[in-house]
Amino acid sequence: MTAAQKHSGTPVQGAAPVPDTGVFGLLAEFQTVPQLMAAAEKVRDAGYIHWDSHTPFPVHGLSDAMGLKPTRLPYVVLAGGLIGGAVGLLMQWWMNAIDYPLVISGKPLFSIPANIPVMFELTVLCAAIGAFLGMLVMNGLPALYHPLLTNDRFRRATADRFFISIEADDPKFDAEGTAGFLRSLGSSAVEEVRG
Amino acid sequence: MQRADITKDNLQLGARAAKVTWLAGAIGLVAIAAAVLLGLLSSDGGESFATAYLTAFVFFLTLALGALFFVLLQHVTGAGWGVVVRRPAEAIAGVFPLFAVLSIPLLFNLHSIYPWAGGEAASDHVLAGKAAYLNVPFFLIRWIAYFGIWSLMASYFRRTSARQDGSGDPALTIKMERLSAPGMVVFALTATFFSFDVLMSRDPHWYSTIYGVYLFSGSVVGFCAVLPLLTLSLQRWGRIQHAVTREHYHDLGKLTFAFVVFWAYIAFSQFMLMWYSNIPEETSWYLRRLSGPWSGFSLILLLGHFVIPFWLLISRGVKRRPATLAFAASWVLLMHLLDVYWLTMPESSPTSLGFSLMHVLCLAGVGALMIAAVTYNLSRSALIPVGDPRLDESLSFENV
């Protein structure tokens, strides 16, 4: 029995029992960045949809190799900024010109130059909140549990190994065929991950 | 990811540079001579020439100041991405000796540009109080100091980098990095006092402590617009075609965007404090710019120098496509010209925009001479710093 087989699918020692709902997918390990890049291109071209790459550091060009579409996060940030600016303006207009009219320094009750600092701050604040929350939601975070974390080999994704995982719910997934496909891409180990 | 292959790139400007230098130089001299002649023939004692020349002089000089700032910034941050575009910046920053010479017509016309240098200064109580600083001899001393310091700094960084082309000695990079930090402090102080002297003292009763930062922010906006235009022209002439990629243009676009926003922030900071406190000695400057034809001009500046470039440059695609970036850069450069015009002209022409043939001649003259000098500087060494230890990093630079 090799080390790889021994660790395959066994829960991490001491961790809470993992609900076994069947096969989560396949995890393929790669030794180098060029191998990972070449493999990612092949997985992309083979038409898989539910799959991901895992690297210990950002790899330039991986998004293209995986065929990822540009993120839509900027639109969330833009919406946050616009909402913040509008709220800042309306709030000051309602407070100072409607609810509690107060002449300050001889300026009109509703006076844009005086309102801009608050509008600016709220624009930045809401855009930043939009970026932060939008990023969390789009990434499916916070996730307290992920099937891949049960795999011992996967721990090296934070150190010196590169991984591709293909999920079982992918329309093209087929336990035998996909495993063979991943091996043919030069993976040093392909393991089944149970979720 | 992959380092761009520059083995086939043409890294020298070559013989064509001399032609451009001579042609642009000749055009510049003829245009300035025509402007001087027109000024001598006019009945206003040369004032229309002096103010138009001041506008053109300051506009092009700020581009060089922005370039000097960029070179210092690259060294002080130890930036890798910008190595391939540092040579054009060094070449633009290398025009200070030319501008020292070009300032002679200004120095002969101080009395028609600055109220404190004219005959009425003696009877003005406020100016009498400022006379210890605002007087012609001290102005000339400061002027010589500014141009001496900037010429020395620009020449040091250009020459040291050129020397590295041959040796590839990383010690030179470390030396430049060490000097760039105090250089930045000297730059900030000289640029600030220069802005007080050259433009703010056009209305010597008025003062704004943020004025130096305002002119600085506009200078960097102007330079950030010129740099991609210059590298795109070089690439169109078949030079450095693989060295500078869309990734570098993307970053230059980001820098332009950042400084457009910074300019608006500074401009509004200055305006709001004076508008809010509403003290006559502070509002006089804005009153001139918010009445008559200048109020429309101010609105154009607000929309054109901030709102439009903000929405133009916010998109990733615009910054990464050379054609759209060139359009945005040209637009921003035009707006920087309007900004300098707006800072310079209302003092001598409060009821009209005062635009005349004189401005066209001065802008063409100073601009052509600047093109000649930049082309000459570019021809003196390779178009990218081939000996820089961070060249590989810059060639393989990618935005995530």
Please name every residue paired with A180 in a beta bridge, in sequence order, or none if there are none: none
Q: Which CATH class is domain A20-69+142-194?
A: alpha beta
CB contact under 8 A, B276 and A61: no
CA atoms of B151 and B208, how far apart (whole Å): 27
pLDDT by 10s per residue, chain B, length 400:
466 777 777 888 888 889 999 999 999 999 999 999 999 998 887 889 999 999 999 999 999 999 999 999 999 999 999 999 999 999 999 999 999 999 999 999 999 999 999 877 778 888 989 999 999 999 999 999 999 999 999 999 999 999 999 888 999 999 999 999 999 999 999 999 999 999 999 999 999 999 999 999 999 999 999 999 999 999 998 898 889 999 999 999 999 999 999 999 999 999 999 999 999 999 999 999 999 999 999 999 999 999 999 999 999 999 999 999 999 999 999 999 999 999 999 999 999 999 999 999 999 999 999 999 999 999 999 999 999 999 988 988 888 6
Say how far apart CA B237 and CA B231 lie, in whole Å. 10
This complex has an ipTM of 0.80
Are B272 and A114 an interchain contact pair (Cβ–Cβ within 8 Å)? yes
Distance CA B55, CA B14 (A): 33
User: In sequence order, which residues have a C-beta less than 8 Å from that of residue B266 and are 6 or more positions away?
Assistant: B210, B213, B214, B217
Domain map of chain A by residue range? 20-69+142-194, 73-138
Domain ranges of chain B: 16-395
Cβ separation of B276 and A106 shorter than 8 Å? no
A chain contacts of residue B278, beta-carbon cutoff 8 Å:
105-106
Query: How far is the alpha carbon of A124 from chain B, nearest alpha carbon, in Å?
Result: 13
B203 CB-near residues (< 8 Å, 6+ apart): B115, B284, B285, B288, B347
Residue type, B213: V
Q: How far is B381 from chain A (nearest CA, A)?
A: 32
Q: What's the CA gap between B53 and B321, in Å, rounded? A: 35
C-alpha span between B374 and B25 (Å, rounded) = 11
Count other C-beta atoms under 10 Å from residue B82's C-beta.
21
CA of B268: which chain A residue's CA is closest?
A113
In three state form, how does the secondary structure of B151-174 look?
HHHHHHHHHHHHHHHHHCCHHHHH
Q: Inspect the interface and report whether the beta carbons of B1 and A61 lie closer than 8 Å.
A: yes
User: Whose CA is closest to B117, among B32, B41, B204?
Assistant: B204
Q: What is the DSSP string of B177-228?
A: HHHHHHHHHHHHHHHHHHHHHHTGGGSTT---TTHHHHHHHHHHHHHHHHHH
Q: B272 and A106: CB-CB below 8 Å?
A: no
- The one-letter code for the residue type at B2 is Q
Q: What is the nearest CA distance from B1 to chain A, expressed in angstroms? A: 6
Cα separation, B302 vs B296, in Å, equals 10
**Is A113's CB within 8 Å of B272's CB?**
yes
Q: Is B258 exposed, middle or buried (0-12, 13-18, 19+ CB in 10 A)?
A: middle
3-state secondary structure at position A23: strand
Asked if A61's CB is within 8 angstroms of B278's CB, the reply is: no
Beta bridge partners of A23: A194
Which of A61, A74, A114 comes nearest B276 by C-beta? A114
Amino acid identity of residue A95, one-letter, is M
Q: How far is B221 from chain A (nearest CA, A)?
A: 21
B-chain CB neighbours of A58 within 8 Å are 400
Interface of B to A at Cβ within 8 Å reads: 1, 268, 271-272, 275-278, 316, 398, 400
Rounded distance between C-alpha atoms, residue B46 and residue B41, angstroms: 8
